[in-house]
Amino acid sequence: MSETETFDVAVIGGGIMGCTTALWLARGGMRCVLVERGGLCMEASGRNAGTLTMMFTRAALVPYAMRGRELWQDAADWLGRDVGFRSTPGLGLALNEADGERMRVETDERRDAGAPIEIIGANRAREIEPAISDRPVLAAHCPIDGYAYSYRIGAAYRRALVADGVALFEGHAVEGIEPVGQGFNIATGAGCVKARRIVLAGGVWLDKMAAWFGLDMPIICRVNQGTITERLPPILRTVIEVFGHLSLKQATNGTALIGTVLHWIDDASRAAEQIDQDRLVDNLTQAVNIAASVIPALAVGRAVRTWTGLEAYTPDNQPVIGPVPGVADAYIIGAMRSGFTAGPFMGRLLADTLLGRAPEMPIFEAAFDPARLLGMEGGEEALAKLAFA
Ligand SMILES: Cc1cc2nc3c(=O)[nH]c(=O)nc-3n(C[C@H](O)[C@H](O)[C@H](O)COP(=O)(O)OP(=O)(O)OC[C@H]3O[C@@H](n4cnc5c(N)ncnc54)[C@H](O)[C@@H]3O)c2cc1C
């Protein structure tokens, strides 16, 4: 690592948010370094369920998610690789009247924000997806959902970043950042990186990054569990969200992927010690049973692999994007609900803003402003509220 060069910008964290921001900054002419403590897109960005959906996006993020989905569709053009994008209809399924009522309210909010979602009867849902049992009582339908393979994106980003001249430091954790003169000294185990600007893109570890500047920024961690089955004959033609329980899709190779929430914790650094093996098995069993009760043809499939991944939330369930409070030339991006869907667009918007270009959609919004989080209560109370949001 060169200790003499001062980069125009250093991006810390190589998930979707950091990789996309770095890519477009480099394409805009900035000399850019990306520092990632592991490998690119090995955390949330490479472990997620890959659903491209308007169904569980926050209403305020719907316009961004719709553009993000288009970017995944065109990944071969801007990223240089197809990442397995498939356009399918999306179905939200409610298993009881109370869930159905919540689904109606959320569907209205998302439709008002521009998503082409509508409430349909359970019978209509079965016409769209004949594999559905008679268990759901109500459904929501979105014709423009789909999926992509999140495990493919790390290699695609690496190739594109290198081709566009980004200096890539994988396997180097940033230990701290010190503002000096017109820039920053970024301390890593392998030496110091210097840059004029910084972008913090640390996913569930954003609170640790904010703490480098003495800021107390509550970030809450949702531990999600993904489970994949063996290859099955074609069963599903839609991506499904069983409201309040799980997401479900079948890839072109026949495997079905079930995504669920395992639990919520207030400090991601304790995630490993808090992931209890019994809980993993219980959650998996419950998810498989619900999936099979909604799609009976899945009951014959064996689950072959299960894993966890950590997803960042803020106490008010909005993303954090904007200047780091009180620190000139430092920016932060993350904690975005449905971040796989919207991620490539959000990173591009941030890059455009830093390059002094008018972003295609506003991104430094009051609702996303990092400053709003300072002093906001995290902990158990925020956690309990989010668990039901
Ligand atoms: C299991 C799971 C399923 C999901 N399913 C979906 C879905 O179906 N659809 C959807 O739209 N979204 C989904 N999401 C959400 C989506 O994956 C995330 O919103 C998105 O990937 C977040 O990207 P990120 O770049 O902010 O964070 P991350 O991908 O977590 O990247 C942060 C990076 O920062 C690095 N880092 C942290 N600290 C340091 C340090 N000190 N020095 C250097 N590097 C550091 C980490 O190693 C990591 O690579 C899911 C998430 C999970 C976990």
Strand boundaries in the chain, DSSP class E = 6-12, 32-36, 51-52, 86-94, 118-121, 138-147, 167-170, 174-180, 183-188, 191-200, 220-229, 239-242, 246-250, 256-265, 303-313, 320-323, 330-334
Q: Which atom of ligand 1 is nearest to the CA of 310?
A: 53
Give the mean model confidence (pLDDT) for residues 97-112.
Answer: 95
* CATH code of 169's domain: 3.50.50.60
d(CA 125, CA 117): 13
| 259 in contact with ligand 1, CB cutoff 6 A | yes
Is the C-beta atom of 347 inside 6 A of ligand 1? no
**Gap from CA of 334 to ligand 1 centroid (Å):** 8
Better-scored residue on pLDDT, 88 or 377: 88
**Same domain for 95 and 200?**
no
Ligand 1 neighbour 35 (Cβ under 6 A): yes
Shortest CA distance to 309 belongs to which of 203, 169, 207, 200? 203
**Is the minimum distance from the CB of 12 to ligand 1 under 6 angstroms?**
yes
Domain stop point among 280, 313, 346: 313
Q: Which ligand 1 atom is at minimum distance from the Cα of 16?
A: 25
Out of 194-208, 213-227, 253-267, 271-285, pick the least confident.
271-285
Q: Atom 31 (ligand 1): residue with closest C-alpha?
A: 15
Do 240 and 123 lie in one domain? The reply is yes
Residue 384 confidence (pLDDT) above 80: no
Banded model confidence at residue 383, pLDDT cuts 50, 70, 90: confident
| Probe residue for ligand 1, chosen from 64, 72, 264, 340 as the CB with the greatest number of ligand atoms within 8 Å | 340
Domain end: 285, 313, 341, which one?
A: 313
Give the pLDDT confidence score for residue 380 in this predicted structure. Answer: 72
Indicate whether 378 pLDDT > 90: no
Given a contact cutoff of 8 angstroms between Cβ atoms, the answer to whether 170 and 14 are in contact is yes
pLDDT confidence of residue 379: 72
Least confident of 214-218, 225-229, 260-264, 353-357: 260-264
> pLDDT (tens digit, 9 = 90+) per residue, 258-281?
999 998 888 888 777 778 888 899
Q: What is the pLDDT of residue 197?
A: 98
DSSP state of 243: T
pLDDT at 258: 97
CA–centroid distance, residue 365 to ligand 1 (Å): 22
- For the chain, how long is the longest CA-to-CA vector? 66
**284 half-sphere exposure, CB direction, 13 A CA radius:** 19
Q: How far apart are the first and last CA of the chain?
A: 44
Write the CATH number for 301. Answer: 3.30.9.10
Mean pLDDT of the chain: 94
pTM score, two decimals? 0.96
DSSP output for 90-147: EEEEESSHHHHHHHHHHHHHHHHTT---EEEEHHHHHHH-TT--S--SEEEEEEEEEE
Task: List Cα–Cα distances, 274 to 224, 265, 278, 377, in angstroms.
Answer: 13, 8, 11, 22
Beta carbon of 90 within 6 Å of any ligand 1 atom: no
Ligand 1 proximity of 17 Cβ (cutoff 6 Å): yes
- Please count the structural domains in the chain: 2
Same domain assignment for residues 189 and 320: yes
Question: Which pair of structure tokens corresponds to residue 230?
Answer: 């063996």
- Percent of the chain whose predicted confidence (pLDDT) is above 90: 87
Q: Is residue 350 part of a domain?
A: yes
Do 264 and 328 fall into the same domain?
A: no
Q: Is the pLDDT of residue 2 over 60?
A: no
Q: Measure the CA–CA gap between 364 and 75, rounded to whole angstroms.
A: 25
Task: Please tell me whether residues 244 and 328 are part of one structural domain.
Answer: no
299 is a domain residue: yes
Which pLDDT band holds residue 40 (cuts at 50, 70, 90)? Answer: very high
Residue 1 has pLDDT above 80, yes or no: no
Query: b or e along 138-161 (b: 16 or more beta carbons within 10 Å of the residue's beta carbon)?
Result: bbbbbebbbbbbbbbbbebbbebb
40 within some domain: yes
Same domain as 299, residue 229: yes
| pLDDT, position 389 | 59
CA-to-CA distance for 328 and 356, rounded, in angstroms? 15
Q: Is 137 found in the same domain as 237? A: yes
Q: Tell me the per-residue pLDDT of 21-39, one tens digit each, with 9 for 90 and over.
A: 999 999 999 999 999 999 9
Are residues 306 and 160 both part of a single domain? Answer: no
Measure the CA–CA gap between 317 and 241, rounded to whole angstroms: 19
Residue 136 lies in a domain: yes
How remote is the CA of residue 307 from the centroid of ligand 1, in Å?
14
Picking from 269, 297, 313, the residue at the C-terminal end of a domain is 313
Q: Which residues contact 336 (CB under 8 A, 6 or more apart)?
A: 17, 61, 312, 319, 321, 342, 343, 346
Tell me what pLDDT residue 48 has. 96
**Residue 388: pLDDT band with limits 50, 70, 90:** low
**334 in ligand 1 pocket by Cβ < 6 Å?**
yes
pLDDT at 3: 62
Residue 88 Cβ < 6 Å to ligand 1: no
Ligand 1: which of 11, 37, 85 to mutate, judged by most atoms within 8 Å of the beta carbon? 37
Question: What 3-state class would DSSP assign to 7?
Answer: strand
Is 114 within a domain? Answer: yes
Do 203 and 264 share a domain, yes or no? no
Residues 330-341 have a mean pLDDT of: 96
Answer yes or no: do 231 and 142 share one domain: yes
CA 361, 46, 92, 314: dihedral to nearest 10 degrees? -60
Question: Do 140 and 232 belong to one domain?
Answer: yes
Ligand 1 atom closest to 209 (CA): 41
263 in Cβ contact with 270 (< 8 Å): no
Distance 42 CA to ligand 1 centre (A): 8
43 Cα–ligand 1 center, Å: 5
Q: Give nearest CA residue, ligand 1 atom 21.
A: 45
The Cα–Cα gap between 290 and 283 comes to 11
The answer on 245 and 136 residing in a single domain is yes
pLDDT band at 387 (very low <50, low <70, confident <90, very high): low
In this structure, what are the phi and psi dihedrals at residue 269, rounded to the nearest 5 degrees? -70, -15
pLDDT at residue number 318 = 94
Point out the ligand 1 atom lying closest to the alpha carbon of residue 19: 25
Q: Look at residue 175 and tell me whether its pLDDT is greater than 80.
A: yes
By residue range, what is the domain housing residue 307? 87-146+220-313
Strand-pair partners of 51 = 147
Region for residue 325 given its phi and psi (left: phi exceeds 0; alpha: psi -120 to 50; beta: otherwise): beta
Would residue 78 count as lying in a domain? Answer: no
Residue 387, domain member (yes or no) = no
Residue 134 belongs to a domain: yes
> In this predicted structure, what is the pLDDT of residue 370?
97
